[in-house]
Amino acid sequence: MEDAGMKRSFVRILAIFALICAAAACGCTGTTETTDPAASAGDEIAWNLTVTDGTQEKVLSFAEIKALPAWEGYGYAVSTVGIKYGPYTVKGVPLTTLFDLVGGFEEGDQVGISAPDGYYWVFDDEQMSGKGFVTFDENLKEKPSPDLTPILAYEFNGTAIPDGDGGPLRIVVATDEPGTITEGSAWVKWVDRIEVKRS
């Protein structure tokens, strides 16, 4: 009798746990929520970023990245299949700030961003100055681009970026004002290497 009752509540707990896991894995609402206090504190996150220009190389810890001058704005992306992610408030470090650590970024240079899953994305110098991106309004109608800032983000909506959303470090093509959607393909997840390719 008591055994059956315990079994039932165990099954119920398992079912709730499975639901939570499914919701976390899905992430289809595009909102970011984390209640993990360690994740919001953020500084203990074990992750290294390599910044290089092929000659000089700097390896930065997550805490060292958070100690750099921060940039805050908005991010809103659309995937190739039309799923919208965001809008988020985003916080991170402009890529140009990172390049100051390895001799700066100059006209004609390009930027290669890599992640451990093998994804690789390139920004040209026009994009590094915030231009030359395709942008959309909330109805996914193409609209003229405001000035954009490619950043290495470590917070969405005031909390650490969960792994499922590409954290702890994700590229965001960010804006000063909400309401502009950028192409998700440039929002590299799990960034671990950023390279300036000298012209």
What is the closest distance, in whole angstroms, from the C-beta atom of residue 151 to ligand MTE in the complex?
Answer: 14
**Which structure tokens are listed for 168?**
């702890």
Among positions 144-173, residues that touch ligand MTE (CB under 6 A) are none
> Which of ligand MTE, Mo ion, none does residue 187 bind (CB under 5 to 8 Å by kind)?
ligand MTE
Among positions 117-136, residues that touch ligand MTE (CB under 6 A) are 117, 119
Q: Figure out which of the listed residues 9, 35, 80, 199 binds ligand MTE, where binding follows CB under 6 A.
A: 80
Residue nearest to Mo ion (CB): 80
C-alpha–C-alpha distance, residues 95 and 190, integer Å: 15
Stretch in the footprint of ligand MTE (CB under 6 A) among 8-16, 55-63, 155-163, 183-191: 183-191
| Strand-pair category, 71-78 with 181-183 | parallel
- Residue 35, interface with Mo ion (CB under 5 A)? no
Contacts of 197 (CB under 8 A, 6+ apart): 54, 109, 110, 111, 112
SS3 content of the chain, % helix, strand, coil (to 5): 25, 35, 40
- Measured CA to CA in angstroms, residue 116 lies from 14, 59, 113, 122, 150 at distances of 32, 15, 11, 16, 20
Q: Figure out which of the listed residues 45, 98, 189, 195 binds ligand MTE, where binding follows CB under 6 A.
A: 189
Contact positions toward ligand MTE, by CB under 6 A? Answer: 79-80, 115, 117, 119, 184-185, 187-190
